[in-house]
Amino acid sequence: MNLSPQMHIAVRTARSVAKRLLDRFQHHYELSVQHKGLNDLVTEADVETEKEIIQQLKTSYPSYQVLAEESGGSIPPRGFCWIIDPIDGTNNFIHGLPHFSISIALAENGVVIGGLVFDPMRNEMFVGENGRGAFLNDYRIRVGKTRALSEALLATGFPIKNRDRMDSYLRSFTALWHASRDVRRQGSAALDLAYVAAGRYDGYWESGLSRWDVAAGTIILKEAGGYVTDFQGKGGYMNNGEIVAANPAIHTLMMDKLAPDHKLERKTTLKLKK
């Protein structure tokens, strides 16, 4: 992989902290679990892994800002910023399900320019960097070539932290499930995006996400030839938490299925405001 010095450090950091994280996973039943909000969980493994990542990145780049799930922060309009999710798939981690990831992205002047998603259970390192391509363990990856929605395998996530969105979500699920070959729900948004980039999934949609959930996965997907928007077909997914990601052909077909429901939502919202 022809990576920048920053992303080389990020890759090295992810592999380094994963060793201790795997040990914590083997003893997941001993974890102390706290609730940050409705179905929003955190363990000492999340906190410790995040601190380790920040410490290692700060050693190499002390002036860079940090936005991380557990310690907060913000993306500055100028300069560099690391965007970190120490365990994407905490619920899986807590229950001993071997599907979670470390997600680290780098933004410059408010724009994500590089990212990695590391699955320590499978030793799979997905990396993408602006203009340098997307890779899985040193091999270049591309989005799938599926062009018919009826032949597409899709991925999704339930809005478990925003259950008021469930009715709308179920309508979108019904429409896309009927139109596609099948739908998977595995519990790590970062890995869902990486899997679309690698052609394992043909498309993915979800709402109620945070910036650290999608920052790394979206740059990997774009560098793999994929297309990503919010539910309105715009680029606001880093701010509104809505995401539709796929190869260009499947993205268009997914948006066609999602559009009627979101047009109805907008009309309902306007009526409520009057």
Q: How many CB atoms lie within 10 A of CB 80?
A: 17
Q: For domain 5-140, is the CATH number 3.40.190.80?
A: no
H helical segments located in the chain: 5-26, 44-60, 90-94, 166-179, 189-197, 211-223, 237-240, 248-273
Q: What is the mean pLDDT of each run of 10 residues along the chain (274 residues)?
A: 94 97 88 69 86 97 95 92 96 95 98 98 98 96 98 92 78 94 97 98 95 97 97 94 96 89 43 35
pLDDT of residue 272: 33
The domain limits of the chain are: 5-140, 149-273
Class of domain 149-273: alpha beta
Q: How far apart are CA 1 and CA 172, in angstroms?
A: 38
Against a cut of 0.85, is the pTM above it?
A: yes
